[in-house]
């Protein structure tokens, strides 16, 4: 699999990451196979969050690999914090406490990346900065990022931080493209012209932040999977046509569409099916033509002005 660098971190990772939200539902031997297969395919970034399975996904991950040091060095492990039961919390106490609990569950001394999961309207950037400094100096977190943040929220954080924010996780798929739509429909009087994210794609490229695309097979606001869904015949017909051309699955084409964007977006795939992940990993070796990319965008129900 091709490699990309996460922001300015120097971390080299596979173009595709594995999201571990559903790992708690697996038997230990099955989770082991998922992880080993991912590494064999070149997928070395494993995405967690303290809320996945109420912490049990992190525990299942650690149990599956016995978290030995030689294997740990081959992995880039990231986790997220900030979502609590019915509210968001970026307080220094909660950030540090969440990391310490994640480290226990993951059975490791450090995580490579900590991301703030969803924006906290009551965020005090000075307090976040204190938490990040404490975690960095203690060696418990090596790099930091955010998730579902817009550019001005990131700028507010950066005002006080002594560390780079190397990534931002955003929902993005062929059937969920608000990050793209406004840039294509500049100064138009239609719904697609509304800028809903503050220009995150352009901001990430200007500031060398990696965007990680979560739910890359979902349509709408996580309303369901569009690949193979009979409700979306046009986009699936185009996916199948290109899948046959490139001798891969339609899911691989959906990921290749994301990878084709020059922002070096890293899709986070949540499949716990090793064969499906292997099939999807083939997207790393496909470069869609410009026309194929736009054909898929239009088949997904979008218009060009």
Contact residues for 63 (Cβ-Cβ < 8 A; gap 6+): 28, 31
52 is catalytic: yes
Catalytic residue selected from 52, 203, 246, 297? 52
CA distance 139 to 240: 47
Half-sphere exposure of 51 (CA within 13 A, CB side): 14
CB atoms closer than 10 angstroms to residue 66 = 10
Work out whether strand 165-171 and strand 210-214 pair parallel, antiparallel, or are unpaired: parallel
Which element (helix H / strand E) includes 12?
Answer: strand 12-14
Between the CA of residue 202 and those of 116, 230, 248, 257, what are the distances in Å? 21, 34, 30, 18
CA distance 103 to 110: 7
CA distance 292 to 185: 20
Number of helices (H), then strands (E), in the chain: 12, 12
Q: How far apart are the two ends of the chain, measured CA to CA in Å?
A: 36
CA distance 295 to 301: 10
Residues that are catalytic: 52
């Amino acid at each position: 699999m091709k490699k990309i660098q996460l922001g300015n971190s120097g971390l080299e990772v596979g173009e595709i990451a594995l999201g571990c939200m559903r790992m708690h539902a697996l038997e230990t031997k099955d989770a082991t196979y998922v992880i080993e297969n991912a590494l064999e395919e070149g997928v070395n970034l494993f995405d967690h969050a303290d809320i996945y399975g109420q912490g049990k996904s992190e525990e299942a991950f650690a149990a599956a690999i016995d978290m030995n040091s030689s294997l740990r060095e081959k992995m880039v492990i990231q986790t997220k914090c900030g979502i609590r039961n019915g509210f968001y919390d970026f307080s220094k106490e909660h950030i540090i406490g969440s990391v310490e609990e994640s480290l226990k569950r993951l059975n490791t001394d450090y995580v490579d990346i900590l991301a703030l999961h969803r924006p906290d309207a009551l965020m005090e950037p000075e307090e976040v900065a204190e938490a990040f400094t404490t975690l960095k100096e203690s060696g418990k977190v090596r790099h930091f990022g955010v998730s579902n943040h817009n550019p001005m929220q990131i700028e507010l954080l950066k005002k006080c931080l002594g560390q780079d924010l190397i990534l931002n996780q955003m929902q993005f798929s062929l059937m969920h493209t608000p990050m793209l739509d406004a840039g294509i429909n500049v100064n138009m009087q239609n719904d697609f012209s509304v800028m809903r994210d503050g220009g995150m794609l352009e901001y990430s490229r200007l500031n060398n932040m990696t965007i990680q695309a979560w739910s890359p097979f979902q349509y709408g606001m996580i309303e369901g999977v569009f690949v193979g869904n009979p409700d979306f015949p046009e986009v699936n017909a185009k996916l199948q046509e290109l899948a046959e051309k490139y001798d891969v699955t339609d899911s691989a084409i959906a990921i290749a569409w994301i990878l084709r964007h020059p922002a070096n977006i890293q899709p986070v795939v949540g499949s716990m099916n090793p064969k499906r992940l292997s099939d999807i990993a083939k997207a790393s070796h496909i470069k869609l033509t410009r026309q194929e990319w736009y054909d898929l965008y239009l088949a997904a129900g979008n218009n060009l002005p």
